[in-house]
Amino acid sequence: MYWIFLIGLTAAALYIMYARRKKLYDSGQIIKRNLDYLKQVHYFTLENVGWERVWNALKDTDYHKAASMAGDPQKPLIRYNGVNWSAQLYKCKRDDGKDCYGFQFLEWTERQGMIQYEAHMNTVLTAIERAFLQLDPQTEVSTEYVNTKTKPKFF
């Protein structure tokens, strides 16, 4: 009887997790992605969009209120600090006159092989993508893998 209860409780928990994730997908707050997005720099290339416009657009779409301005006028930077994760958005150097911004996750926590708060991270990346596309519908999005070092915790 005890095992039946545990199996039922586990099934109910999995269903609730699935229902919450499905609600986020259906509402458009997150996009279905391969988890490799955590190990990539996401580059957004736009035409004539200054840092102030980017900051205002991202501030308005900050779903988890995780953003804060950092850096200086020469090297502007937005830090995102969530629960057990952090990321940054920075201005890239380009020679062709276009504005380029790079976004990457710097750290996150894994427990028992699962990424904690991955839905929050996906939500922030989705909001950033949408903000750039609203600023310039012709925004070019590209990704590049970066070396990551993980310390998975199984207990």
**CA 94 to CA 69: how far, in whole Å?**
22
H or E segment to which residue 131 belongs: helix 118-135
Predicted confidence (pLDDT) per residue in 48-80, tens digit: 788 888 888 887 776 656 677 776 767 788 888
Residue 73: CB atoms within 10 A of its CB come to: 6
**CA 53 to CA 50: how far, in whole Å?**
6
Fold classification of 34-145 is Double Stranded RNA Binding Domain (3.30.160)
Contacts of 127 (CB under 8 A, 6+ apart): 58, 61, 62, 63
Q: What is the pLDDT of residue 44?
A: 94
Q: What is the pLDDT of residue 150?
A: 62
Predicted confidence (pLDDT) per residue in 109-133, tens digit: 877 777 777 888 888 888 899 899 9
Domain ranges, ordered by start, for the chain: 1-30, 34-145
Predicted confidence (pLDDT) per residue in 25-42, tens digit: 677 676 778 778 888 999
Identify whether the C-beta of residue 87 lies closer than 8 Å to the C-beta of residue 122: no
**CA 86 to CA 107: how far, in whole Å?**
5
